Copies of this chain bind each other. A is one copy, B any other.
């Protein structure tokens, strides 16, 4: 029944900490959740609709003046039970599908400068993401020695994001150095 609903689990886990509207969830997904789960606005809204139908979350409409009404979602007991059931099952590593590396494999078809330029562009993107995550880390967790269990968990996901993005920057530098030797 609840096999393969990974986005649903991510939403449930997020609502387990705090209640959010669909729009606020999307904003959170665009900032900190991003380092472990990316989802579009449309995906989030659709999943919220499904989860509410299933009874895993419940909503409350907050009328607002000047702005559209908000629908605030909270997790239900049933939702928590679904999360718990899922937690004890093993998870496989995410499937990697990285276009840049496919381009590296096909790079020989065009002048060297084409792939080099793209790798440099990507290096910048990842550098910026490292900075963004580091800033969130400092704001949310200024004192690493005084974290609650819950905070430690949240902290660790950010640490994973920083490691991931930093590794990309490092690889880009290695690639630029190795491929710059060519004149092609």
How near does chain B come to A152, taking the closest CB pair, in angstroms?
Answer: 6
A16 touches B104 (CB 8 A): no
How near does chain B come to A100, taking the closest CB pair, in angstroms?
Answer: 5
For A112, what are the chain B residues with a Cβ–Cβ distance below 8 Å? 149
B118 touches A91 (CB 8 A): yes
Does any Cβ of B come within 8 Å of A108's Cβ?
A: yes
> Interface size bucket, A side?
35 or more
The oligomer's copy count stands at 2
Does any Cβ of B come within 8 Å of A93's Cβ?
A: yes
Contact with B along A12-27 (1 / 0, CB 8 A): 1110110000000000
Does any Cβ of B come within 8 Å of A136's Cβ?
A: no
B122 touches A103 (CB 8 A): no
Interface residues of A (CB under 8 A from B): 6-7, 9-10, 12-14, 16-17, 34-38, 80, 83-84, 86-88, 90-110, 112, 114-115, 118, 121-122, 125-126, 149-150, 152-157, 159-160, 163-164, 167-168, 170-171, 174-175, 178-179, 182, 184
